[in-house]
Structure formats: structure tokens, C-alpha cells
Amino acid sequence: MEWRDQGILLGLRRHGESSAILDVFTPQRGRHAGVLRGATSRKVAPGLQPGAQLDIAWRARLEDHIGTFTVEPVRSRAAAALGDRLALAGLNAVTALVAFALPEREPHPEFYHRTEQLLDLLGQTEVWPLAYLRWEMQLLNDTGFGLDLSACAVTGQKEGLEYVSPKTGRAVSAAGAGEWAPRLLPLPPVLRGEGDAGDHEVLQGLAVTGHFMAHSLARELGERPVPEARARFVSRLARLADGV
């Protein structure tokens, strides 16, 4: 069994004296692991930074075996994160969340391309936080926990939407919320593509997507905690928004 594809390196762990097990995200094969021999050598190791774009060939005797990789670096994204703490935190959040949320060997080609586009924006501080928020919304969609913000879940109206149900992810209007309003999540306009999209507004949106990652997605995955890398990115963005 063998295949070729291009993908994003999510992470790696040492395997034996000189090899490593790589976790990559590809458009046609989804998340896929494989052993790369000689991964710790001085020639190969510098090109194996999380977020790197790789040409990948995988081979195994049987399809369900872990198999072996041969890789050729296409481009590194580490340079875009050097000296930029927000970019570095964002890169780590993206690779950690993909590894956390997506099952192995399940293709998500559209989400793969969204991820590739997002990582290629690293270092563009003016646009990256909003692009990242939209990426998280797509991640929730692809894992079955997407938000439905098109109309009020109670009244059906499309105007005056102010809340999100913490259980269903559906929008709720002020009229529809009634006495239940204190139990609902506030709906930031940025999640519906409205209003300003500055860092403070993006942080409000991330509070909502973070709720569903922690209380819906993580529970579906067996109560696994959301990776700390996401919290570090949100904290870094909050400090930037406050001018720290």
C-alpha cells in the first residue's frame, strides 16, 4: 500500500534512536501518522517544524499499519512566527487543535484548505485574528458542532439576535430569550459578519467558540481537555488588544 500527498506537519515524537513518528494533516487522507527514519539528523530535523508544508509519500504492507514516510519540505512557516509571539501562539493553537479534534484517516479536504490558507497568513497581525476565529467556526462545523446563527431558535425571526444557546449553538433573539436570557451566551456581531472586527470583538467571538469546544467537542472526544495552546493564543491576543 502506498500514496503520495502534500500536507501540514502537526507534530512529531521521537521513535527509537534516530526516527520519529510524524502526525500530518493532508487533504485526501486527513490526519495520518507514519514513521520517518533519520528524522533527528542535522539535515532533516530543521525542516520538521510544526506547520511546515511537506510533500509526503507513505508506504506500508497493509493499509492499517502505521507505515513509513518519506518527505520533502515545500516551505517552512516557522520564519513567519519568529519574533512574533502572537503568530507563534497562533501556529501552535492551530496545529494542536487539528490534532485534538480530527480523527485519524478521515478526509476533510475543504477544512484542510482553510487551514492551509490560515497558516499562510501568519504574521499578518491585522487580518489573522479574524481569520482564526472564522477557522474555529469551520472546525466546529466539520466536527458536528457548528453554530446556527441564521435565525432565532424560538421565534424564527432574523433580526434582533442577541444570544446563543449554550446547548444547541442556535441564535436567540431578545424577545425569544425572555427570562432565560441570563443563562444564554451573548452573541457578538462579529460571529455573524457584522460590526467591527477588532481584537476585542474577535475575543468575544472566541469566548463563544471556546465554550462549544470545551463543553461539546471535548465531551464528544471523551472529556479530553482542549489543548492549552489555544488558551495561550487567546491570552496573547488579549494582551495585544489591551496594548500590553
pLDDT of residue 81: 80
pLDDT of residue 80: 78
Q: Which residues of 210-232 are buried (b: 16+ CB within 10 A; e: fewer)?
A: bebbeebbbeeeeeeebbebbeb
Kindly report, residue by residue over 35-79, the tens digit of the pLDDT: 999 998 988 888 999 999 999 999 998 888 999 999 999 999 888
- Which parts of the chain sit beneath pLDDT 70? 244
What domains are defined for the chain?
2-76 (2.40.50.140), 79-148+187-241 (no CATH)
- End-to-end C-alpha distance for the chain, whole angstroms: 52
Kindly report, residue by residue over 120-139, the tens digit of the pLDDT: 999 898 999 999 999 999 99
